[in-house]
Amino acid sequence: MRIIRDYQFVEEADRGASAAIGNFDGVHLGHQYVIDIARAQAKTSQTPLGVMTFEPHPRQYFAPHSAPFRLMGVDARAHRLEKLGVERLYELSFNDTLSALTPDEFAQRVIVDGLGLSHVVIGEDFHFGKGRAGKSADMVQLGEQLGFGVTVAPLMSDEVGEVSSTAIREALTDGRPRDAARMLGHWHRIEGEVIRGDQRGRDLGYPTANLSIADLHPPRFGVYVVEVDILTGPHKGSYGGAASMGTRPMFGENLPNIESFIFDFSGDIYGEEISVALIEYLRPEEVFDGLDALIAQMDTDCARARDILAKV
């Protein structure tokens, strides 16, 4: 997959794609449906399959001090899109210039002159241009005027309700990772580089691989059953585990993170990239009377996690 970040400097081989447009936070089933429509169009027209998205997320750009809301980081989104067969990722810099374009200017300068897209696929709730003034019907009209195809995809719902990034965030906030996975079409994952912590887990007999969650929507704090994929280094592979999400109140106030104990594993993975999938929520964070009580609870948590993983 090729990643293009500047619509004003695009090689000829990267022009002409059939592309889905949106933020694609989480790459949930609704996003995948839009991408599938673009895929079918790309196959028919024998053009590359593309996705146009924006970085930073426009919500971050306009409200930089708001609470973290993203379901996945930039790299995790790219990994997921690549797994879906996307050939061109137009990850455009969302800045003063781009945000100031009117809907007409966006269509002309970005879609036509910049990327030369042959066809675009958008959701029916899609907005674009300065002040979100452009709607899906406007994109259809602009496509007719400027010579690119447009498909408007209906919103997706399941038996519970609309599939959306907002609904997924609510499920994670409530500690319902299986409901989030139902809407995502895959386990919700937290990806990043393993960082050094206080190494208390090692002293307790439970060494952990720690990831920051600083820029992500925080799932409910507590203990989870997890699957850990080690993505780089000599220990690449998939492992079961149990993880603690939160601030470690047993040891004072700390920045939120996720600490994963990987079952049947003893390698050094500091600095490696890992992906932690949330499978099931076990219990909230607690403060115990002492380390012996904490270790006993960790023993119980891991035994439960192994039982659950055996049935997944």
Please enumerate in sequence order all residues whose Cβ is within 8 A of that of 262, keeping only pairs 6 or more positions apart, or say none. Answer: 209, 228, 239, 240, 241
Q: List the catalytic residues.
A: 259
Distance CA 195, CA 209 (A): 7
Q: For residue 279, which of 156, 190, 161 has the smallest C-alpha distance? A: 190
3-state secondary structure 73-106: CHHHHHHHHHHCCCCEEEEEECCHHHHCCCHHHH
What tokens does 167 get? 């609904």
In the chain, the amino acid numbered 240 is: G
Using CA atoms, how far apart are residues 229 and 276, in angstroms rounded to an integer? 6
Instruction: For 111-145, give the DSSP string.
Output: IIIIS--SEEEEETT-EESGGG-EEHHHHHHHHHH
CB-side neighbour CA atoms (13 Å) of 177? 24
CA nearest neighbour of 109 among 129, 95, 83, 89 = 129
Write down the H helix ranges in the chain: 29-45, 58-62, 74-83, 96-99, 103-105, 136-146, 165-173, 177-184, 200-203, 291-311
- Local structure of 241: helix, strand or coil: strand
Q: State which amino acid sits at residue 5.
A: R
Least Cα distance to 245 among 299, 281, 289 occurs for 281
